[in-house]
């Protein structure tokens, strides 16, 4: 197994000295490109400190999704059992197909070259129904073929953040007749339902409540979550054993 893991699309053998890691504490904003903002690296620690889980998370959203995992990523001493590599790409190919799918395939293939068979890496691709509805079934097939778990939120990631605070199925939200407006309106509405608005970087502290609420309100049709449903609880359930103790330490 290689001692170092990093991503530079198109040049997987690039020397580590040439790779620039994102500054500590930085937050990705909309419009950042994969190469300018998402170059990351994973340095294998000593054997006694080796993370037991390496999660590779691809995302078509570049801000709130990244912020959700920020606490874990920036506190490796508190969360020594898990390493998260978050890779975002918000661009689209001609015709509207999200480029994150190809990025995910390329990256996964690269990582598998240095995978530890006894402790396999876990790959997820986060997507909203909002942007990618026409491509979801195709993306699911591609993900299945490449051992990537597709995690869909309908209509947006904020549905997951809502369930960190609320147990009801988004009661009070008026669904607009134009479904292309659902995501933007829901984001605005959801922020008014919680005092001070949705706290993306703090939602991780309520992960168990979040999982419970999201599961209780989950329904799907043909494998696709229905409106106000999110599959994020599937990722969270797999992550929880590796972060639970660290979250308790930080709470205290």
Cα dihedral 135, 141, 145, 149, rounded to 10, equals 80
DSSP 45-85: --GGG--SEEEEEEES--SHHHHHTHHHHT-TTT-TTEEEE
Which pLDDT score, from 0 to 100, does residue 142 have? 96
- The residues spanned by each domain of the chain are 4-251
The neighbouring-strand residues paired with 46 are: none
The Cα-based distances of 12 to 114, 200, 227 in angstroms read 11, 32, 39
Which pLDDT score, from 0 to 100, does residue 190 have? 97
Cα(first)–Cα(last) distance of the chain, in Å?
37
* Average pLDDT by stretches of 10, the chain with 252 residues: 36 28 36 33 44 92 94 94 94 86 95 79 94 87 97 97 98 94 96 94 97 98 95 98 96 87
Q: What is the pTM of this model?
A: 0.80
What's the gap between Cα 221 and its chain centre? 22
From 247, 251, 252, select the one nearest 78 (Cα to Cα): 247
């Amino acid at each position: 197994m290689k001692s170092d893991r990093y991503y530079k699309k198109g040049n997987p053998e690039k020397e580590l000295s040439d790779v620039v890691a994102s500054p500590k504490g930085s937050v990705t904003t909309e419009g950042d490109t994969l190469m300018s903002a998402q170059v990351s690296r994973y340095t294998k620690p000593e054997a006694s400190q080796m993370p037991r889980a390496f999660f590779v998370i691809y995302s078509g959203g570049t801000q709130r999704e990244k912020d959700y995992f920020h606490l874990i990523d920036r506190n490796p001493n508190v969360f020594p059992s898990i390493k998260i590599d978050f890779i975002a790409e918000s661009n689209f190919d001609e015709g509207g197909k999200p480029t994150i799918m190809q990025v995910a395939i390329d990256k996964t293939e690269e990582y598998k070259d240095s995978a530890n068979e006894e402790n396999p890496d876990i790959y997820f691709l986060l997507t909203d129904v909002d942007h990618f509805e026409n491509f979801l079934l195709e993306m699911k097939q591609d993900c299945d073929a490449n051992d990537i778990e597709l995690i869909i939120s309908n209509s947006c990631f904020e549905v997951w953040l809502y369930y960190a605070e609320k147990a009801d199925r988004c009661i009070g939200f008026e669904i607009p007749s134009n479904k292309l407006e659902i995501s933007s309106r829901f984001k605005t509405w959801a922020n008014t339902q919680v005092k001070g608005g949705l706290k993306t970087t703090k939602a991780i502290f309520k992960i168990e409540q979040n999982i419970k609420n999201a599961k209780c309100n989950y329904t799907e049709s043909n494998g696709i979550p229905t409106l106000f449903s999110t599959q994020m609880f599937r990722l969270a359930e797999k992550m929880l054993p590796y972060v639970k103790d660290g979250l308790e330490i930080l709470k205290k």
